[in-house]
Amino acid sequence: MTNGFLSCYLGCTSAGPHYNPLGQSHGGVDSAVRHLGDFGNIQVDSKGESKVCVTLPKGLSLFGEHSPIGRSLVIHERVDDLGLGKDEESKKTGSSGPRIACAVVGIADASTCECPPMDQCCSKKVECCQKQPPACASAKCCQK
C-alpha cells in the first residue's frame, strides 16, 4: 500500500513510496518491524492468475488514523523478499521489482459489497464481514 495519488500519465509510479507513517523498515505482514503498508506476497497460478482476499494487517483499520481508504494498493512484478535481503532496496521495497498494477482503495456501495465463499477467497478462513464498514452491514455476506 502506498500514499495514494494515481496519475493517468504516470500510472502506478505516481502512487509514491510504501505507506510508512511510523518510519519502519520494510518487512513481511507478520514481521515485528514493517511498513504499515506491507501486505506480503500474492500466490499466482501457472496462468498468472490469482484470487486475492485482503485482510488488513495489524496496525491498520478500515477507519481511523491509519485507514487505507484513499490510498493505493500496488502489485509488483517479483516476489517480495520481506526486507530480508542484504541490499538497501530490500529495506525499502523488498526488492520486488517494478509496479505492474495498482488501484485506489475506496468504500463500495452496500449493494456491491458481496464476498465470495471463503474457500474461494482466503486460505486463513477469515470472517468475510469482519471489520466491514457500516454501509456493508446489509450485504449478503453479512446476513446469517
Kindly state whether residue 136 falls inside one of the protein's structural domains: no
Q: Which of 85, 88, 1, 84 is nearest to 37 (CA)?
A: 1
| Residue 98's pLDDT band (cuts 50, 70, 90) | very high
With respect to residue 50, please indicate whether it lies within any of the assigned structural domains: yes
Closest to 25 measured CA to CA, from 68, 70, 87: 87
Query: What's the predicted TM-score (pTM) here?
Result: 0.67
Q: What is the pLDDT of residues 19-54, one digit of tens each?
A: 888 888 888 888 888 888 888 888 888 998 887 777
Which of the listed ranges 47-56, 121-130, 135-144 does the model predict with the highest average pLDDT? 47-56
Rg (CA), the chain: 16
In a domain, 143, yes or no: no
Number of domains composing the chain: 1
Each residue's pLDDT tens digit, 56-92: 777 788 888 888 888 888 999 999 999 899 999 888 8
Whether 134 and 144 have beta carbons less than 8 Å apart is answered as no
Element (H, E) at 92: helix 88-93
C-alpha cell at position 93: 521495497
Residue 78 domain-assigned?
Answer: yes
Stretch 86-102: mean pLDDT: 89
**139 CB neighbour count, 10 Å cutoff:** 20
Structural domain boundaries, residue 54? 1-109
Task: Say if 144 falls within a structural domain.
Answer: no
